[in-house]
Structure 1
Amino acid sequence: MSRQVKPGSKPYRAQLRDRLAALGFPEAAMPARVAENLIVECRIPPRTAWRLASELSLDVAAHHYNAVTGDPRAGMRGTRIWEYEQWPERGVRPTVAALRVLAQVYGTGWKSLLGLRDLEQLPAKDLAEYHAEPEQAAAPVLATPEPPSRPARTSPRDEGRPDADIGAGALDDAILLTKTNVDDVQLDDLWSDLDFLGGAYTRTAPESILGQLAVIEERSSSLLKGRQRPKQTQDLLLVGAKCSAMMAWIAGDLGRYWLSRELNSAAWLYTQYADDFLARRWVRTSQARVAFWSGNGVESAKLAADGLNYHVGGRLTDAPLILAEARGWSSVQAEPQVLDAIARWTSIEDPELGAGGEDRFFNITKDRRHYMAGTSLLSVGQASAALREFSTAREAYEKLSLESRWEAMDPMIRIDTGRAHLRLDDLDGAAAQVEPLLATDVAKQPEMVRAMLKVLAGELAGPRWREAATARNLAEALLDAQSSARR
């Protein structure tokens, strides 16, 4: 190459094409020659090499894939092509049918999209099909000579230096700053996937969402290792922050608190480099939630209070953080702090506020807001006030469309409504709330549901209800449900 550029980068490929053109190669032969060079000289895996040689982004390649199949809505996405390119080290193994379509997109044969490590991991049936297919005539691989060494720069104070050499290469060096391994389509795709998964969480198995978020995190961190413009770098950092915070939240729902704390630490590090207040709110919201459910209420309250220091003008409302602060203090029965936080929340609560938009994952719905208020009040002895909040939470939950409901809210509201009835000496009211849970599959619920079942069972087995057969039977049934879910 005439100048030192990153192997495999767009400037590298452009210079390689210029050299091939100078040698008389026609334009139609360029992609194959470029792909071979990227594979041999740059050690880029075949599927990635052919896409880059075709000068296609992941999303444009997916668009062409759908066009080749004859159905623009076929569903291929840039993220799936990226997963194909990561295999076999990670990612997803492409089927032979998918390889054939990709080969048409790139203008090659499907066998050229497989390297030695791919072949070693292919199922026997696919390997047999590989060997049964006739070999295509291969173009000879071009070896790239070592780039000529650049002349050593002399001191700018060298009086004998010609004026023509002063600043030589400065423009080329500056232009390198405009080169990027990211385009707006890729960034839009990352944000779109995050927004989709944030909305799908209420109706999809947590394990599935966690796995899909992990793919987004891998993509964004991989892109960050390349060169971007400053704004693109910040966008990738924000994607990393939000994705890691969402993963931490979900890992906590699954009871994996060690993983949650590690993910939240990664998310906070992303925010420090992005220097973005909204991102800091995302992470503090997730950290406060994980701290509370892992048993550190005071830390949860302090994290939530710190999150309120980052003012972002309505995109992520104060309500989730204020209620997290109240809930954190409630764990140590700090009644003045709880009541103060509940009063602050009441003064800003908007009954019509939904949880739509790009931050809906963290902007919790009305049913969850009133539930959090109720649990905080219940923990400091305000059972009647808590019961009113749970009643409002129940009404709000039932008004939500089925796809907007978080299914864990129904058992959580029932459990804590039952606890409020117990505090008011209403055992029958508590039983009426809790008995429907015994007919459900508790194993499918998040960890906090099972934790609260154990708390309720303990309260039913306490001195106040020890002589009541209804309480004893209900406590035993709840413990059985809770313990069987752990098996």
Structure 2
Amino acid sequence: MRDRLAALGFSEGAMPARVAENLIVECGIPPRTAWRLASELSLDVAAHQYNAVTGDPRAGMRGTRIWEYEQWPERGVRPTVAALRVLARVYGTSWKSLLGLRDLEQLPAKDLAEYHADTETPATAPEPGPACPARVEAVPHAEIGGAALDDAMLLTTTNVDDLQLDDLWSDLGFLGNAYTRTAPDAVLGQLAVVDERVATLLKGRQRPKQTQDLLLIGAKCSAMMAWIAGDLGRYPFSRRLNSVAWLYSQYADDYLARRWVRTSQARVAFWSGNGVESAKLAADGLNYQVGDRITDAPLILAEARGWSSVQAEQQVLDAIARWTSIEDPDLDAGGEDRFFNITKDRRHYMAGTSLLSVGQAPAALREFTTAREAYEKLSLESRWEAMEPMIRIDTGRAHLRLDDLEGAAAQVEPLLATDVAKQPDMVHAMLKVLAAELAGPRWRTAATARHLAEALLEARASAGL
């Protein structure tokens, strides 16, 4: 078509508009895609030029986001008016040319009003259908670029500043650290406030980098909420929150965010009874390489724990071997990702539970011993309250596998003097498992086992379970 237009005397500058018109009318291609193709730009090159127009090469626009803009309104993401104005400058057209009738029918009332209030005339805006030649009027030189400054200034208008973003990140860090020593419901409620603030800000206008920061905050906040809701046994709610978190991470197109979410998803899946799904989610999380920003240990151990639920011994042993090869005994779970980057006591506890589930009781007992030692070395504010009963319960189970009922009783009896009602859902679940094992055929005739099982079930009943 360019050859035909050149033969007819069209200049290079006039060709894109005629090519876009032909693609829209004769090929049925939506306007935003048509104009990009007419400008001979790939998605990635268009994104690069978009960032250059905003004046920030790191602004965050990606080819995948432009593709999502092109899929709307059937699917994908609705482009903001500000984004359309930048794309129009990249393609050398007007922003109104990038909207077809179906787009206009789905625009929010505010954007449609701005469309009608704008006096700029689209260079071409035909809908797919029978060929209808369009006449492109020459633009007087005096008017060329007349609205460019206004358009550029519009891009600087934002409802977010660095102080707000820093405040949101700070809140997440504080609440993540507070979870070890604060009631889960209280932390969940405060995270919900952060989540609401993020959602409200995203409804406004930001620069691309600010939008990405908000998406990252939303991903982390929702994943943390899902994790905590799971600890409270609210698994349907947890799964919904993790779905929201994953959506945020996809739009942010950030590997670390995807790791946060996969870690939370794997945890929730395991404790809600779907071990194989947990293992697969954890394995997928490892595909997102983020250097040394977060250790692989939590995801590898989650993978092992997931496979242990179906006694997949070889997969469990393979995962434990991978973890052992990277385990750093001096690694602390500090920094911005402390919430997901679990402490040493929890790492060894997870390894022990996986080994115990596939019949490796002696190895499991060694891991539980290391977990207890690491737990006792932590400062009080760094200890997760649930670890003490969890280590005791599973250490007791390991002793039972080794035919050591007295050793199991020594671990379990101190729990009976505590209030288990305040413990997370997984503690209650493991108390039930231990009670069932004590009441099983192997220990049915042992008075000590029978009394322990009855006491454990009583403790659960007193907690309303």
The normalised TM-score by structure 1 is 0.68
Q: Which aligned pairs between 1:45-124 and structure 2 lie closer than 5 A?
A: none
State yes or no: 1:299 paired with 2:277. Answer: yes
Match of 1:69 in 2: none
Q: Give distance in 2, aligned partners of 1:162 and 1:307.
A: 56
**Counterparts in 2 of 1:457 and 1:167: CA distance versus 1, 3 Å:** same
Query: SS at 1:202's partner residue?
Result: coil
Q: Which aligned pairs between 1:275-314 and structure 2 lie closer than 5 A?
A: 275-314=253-292
Instruction: Choose the corresponding residue for 1:250, options 197, 209, 228.
Output: 228
Instruction: Choose the corresponding residue for 2:210, options 227, 232, 244.
Output: 232
Greater shift after overlay, 349-358 or 175-184? Answer: 175-184
Match of 2:370 in 1: 392
Q: Give distance in 1, aligned partners of 2:281 and 2:123.
A: 54
Residue ranges of structure 1 left out of the alignment (5+ in a row): 1-145
Q: Give distance in 2, aligned partners of 1:285 and 1:155.
A: 49
State yes or no: 1:366 paired with 2:344. Answer: yes
Structure 1 residue ranges (4+ consecutive) displaced by more than 2 angstroms after TM superposition: 146-159
Match of 1:29 in 2: none
Q: Give distance in 1, aligned partners of 2:359 and 2:435.
A: 18
Q: Give distance in 2, aligned partners of 1:310 and 1:149.
A: 45
Instruction: Choose the corresponding residue for 1:201, options 170, 176, 179.
Output: 179
**Structure 1 residues 299-330: Cα deviation after superposition (integer angstroms, max 9, x where no partner):** 00000000000000011110000000000000
Q: Give distance in 1, aligned partners of 2:248 and 2:216.
A: 7
State yes or no: 1:158 paired with 2:137. Answer: yes
State yes or no: 1:422 paired with 2:403. Answer: no
**Counterparts in 2 of 1:167 and 1:297: CA distance versus 1, 3 Å:** same
How far is 1:397 from its partner?
A: 0.2
Letter of the 1:252 counterpart = G
Q: Give distance in 1, aligned partners of 2:316 and 2:440.
A: 25
Q: Percent identity?
A: 83
State yes or no: 1:436 paired with 2:414. Answer: yes
How far is 1:166 from its partner?
A: 1.9
State yes or no: 1:402 paired with 2:380. Answer: yes
Q: Give distance in 2, aligned partners of 1:152 and 1:197.
A: 49
How far is 1:163 from its partner?
A: 1.8
Q: Give distance in 2, aligned partners of 1:153 and 1:289.
A: 54
Match of 1:9 in 2: none
Match of 1:484 in 2: 462
**Counterparts in 2 of 1:415 and 1:152: CA distance versus 1, 3 Å:** closer
**Counterparts in 2 of 1:338 and 1:150: CA distance versus 1, 3 Å:** closer
State yes or no: 1:349 paired with 2:327. Answer: yes
Q: Give distance in 2, aligned partners of 1:410 and 1:169.
A: 66
Cα RMSD for the two superposed structures: 1.6
How far is 1:242 from its partner?
A: 0.2
Query: SS at 1:391's partner residue?
Result: helix
Match of 2:147 in 1: 169
Q: How many residues align?
A: 341
How far is 1:164 from its partner?
A: 1.4
State yes or no: 1:448 paired with 2:431. Answer: no
Residue ranges of structure 2 left out of the alignment (5+ in a row): 1-112, 125-135
State yes or no: 1:468 paired with 2:446. Answer: yes
Q: Give distance in 2, aligned partners of 1:366 and 1:318.
A: 13
The normalised TM-score by structure 2 is 0.72
Match of 2:391 in 1: 413
Letter of the 1:270 counterpart = Y
Q: Give distance in 2, aligned partners of 1:333 and 1:258.
A: 26
Match of 2:8 in 1: none
**Counterparts in 2 of 1:152 and 1:245: CA distance versus 1, 3 Å:** closer
Letter of the 1:310 counterpart = Y
Letter of the 2:464 counterpart = R
Letter of the 1:327 counterpart = R
State yes or no: 1:261 paired with 2:229. Answer: no
Letter of the 1:458 counterpart = A
Greater shift after overlay, 477-486 or 231-240? Answer: 477-486
Q: Give distance in 1, aligned partners of 2:122 and 2:442.
A: 90
Letter of the 2:121 counterpart = R
How far is 1:162 from its partner?
A: 3.4
**Structure 1 residues 397-438: Cα deviation after superposition (integer angstroms, max 9, x where no partner):** 000000000010000000000000000000000000000000
How far is 1:245 from its partner?
A: 0.2
Letter of the 1:316 counterpart = I
Q: Which aligned pairs between 1:316-335 and structure 2 lie closer than 5 A?
A: 316-335=294-313
Greater shift after overlay, 172-181 or 292-301? Answer: 172-181
Q: Which aligned pairs between 1:215-230 and structure 2 lie closer than 5 A?
A: 215-230=193-208
